[in-house]
Amino acid sequence: MNQAVAMAEQEYATAAATQLIVVTGPTATGKTRLAVALARAFHGEILSVDSRQVYRGLDIGTGKDLAEYSEGGKAVPYHLIDVAAPGERFDLYQFLELARAKLVDMHHRKVLPILCGGTPLYLLALLDGYAMEGGAPDRQLRKELAHCSTAELLQHLREIAPPELFERTDLTQDRRIVRAIEIARSLNNRPAPPPLSNAFILAPQFTRAEVRERIAIRLDARLNAGLLEEVKHLHELGMSWEQLDWLGLEYRFVAQYLQGLLTFQEMHDSLLAHIRQFAKRQDGWFRKFEREGHHIHWIPQGDIDTAIALVQNFLAPS
């Protein structure tokens, strides 16, 4: 491991051990509103933990609510929103690379990180210190291996790869073997990132009936704000209907309406039903989240004063 990598890992380990806030919770419960209030109260900046808000142009359907960051005074800085072009591949590996760099940067500037969002995989990966296999292609290594025979590549892989990696590698293709060697070397050379060991997790809490009503109100607001026009514009920019379908419920059902596959009322009712089903599934995820040791401080009605008091107590010197 070279000195620069070692220093970067030490910097992240230090940042990961410092205090930070997480605002998560079910859809349509006002996470952004609460996170912005906490950022204002405690000199914080928001790190979005949302797999769709990374894309430019996906504003209304993903609920970026960017106006909330500047309402009521000085704008609250936010990160990992609008960092990728529509249709561009953006995955967990990229998210973790960017998010961990931002956490180090905020630590250096002595601002409180406030993670805000509800993409479970992204959130758990940061909190628990997931180690992503492989990373970017190693051009120098590939150049070194280019003249190796298949037998030589296999022997090298056997020497350095853990059994589970060797077993799942397609050994009939040299490029797959080379990629597995890259992954094995990364696993051997870099320890897993540390978890965020000093995270204080909050979530707005509403009854299931209240969440259902909030979802209905939010859907109508998004349609009135131009959701149909947003999806149409994305398609005109070159995104296929299939790509829009992949971007989530709002884009999927509006795209079906724009293709004439659904009437407006069918689109509205189907979308509402599916978002409500998604919210119900989220309940199970958060119960599992807590069973796995991540305590959530539930904030009735998302009350800002209650949240501020809890965070103040958490941040107070012991």
Average pLDDT on 14-32 reads 96
On the 0-12 / 13-18 / 19+ scale of CB atoms within 10 A, 124 is: middle
The answer on pLDDT for 133 being more than 70 is no
The architecture CATH gives domain 3-131+194-217+278-315: 3-Layer(aba) Sandwich (3.40)
Confidence band, pLDDT 50/70/90 cuts, at residue 113: very high
CA-to-CA distance for 10 and 191, rounded, in angstroms? 11
Average pLDDT on 101-112 reads 97
Average pLDDT on 106-110 reads 97
* Token duo for residue 113: 């990180």
The answer on pLDDT for 160 being more than 90 is no
The answer on pLDDT for 258 being more than 80 is yes
The ranges assigned to domains in the chain are 3-131+194-217+278-315, 139-189
- Residue 87's φ and ψ, nearest 5 degrees, are 90, -15
Q: Give the lowest-confidence range in 27-41, 112-126, 149-163.
A: 149-163
Q: What is the model's pTM?
A: 0.84
Average pLDDT on 253-261 reads 98
pLDDT of residue 175: 85
The answer on pLDDT for 67 being more than 60 is yes
Task: Report the percent of the chain where pLDDT is more than 70.
Answer: 94
pLDDT of residue 163: 67
pLDDT tens-digit readout, 24-38? 999 999 999 999 999
The answer on pLDDT for 217 being more than 90 is yes
CB atoms within 10 A of CB 43: 10
Average pLDDT on 276-288 reads 92
Q: What's the CA angle centered on 204, arms 310 and 66, to 5 degrees?
A: 105
For 24, which DSSP code?
-
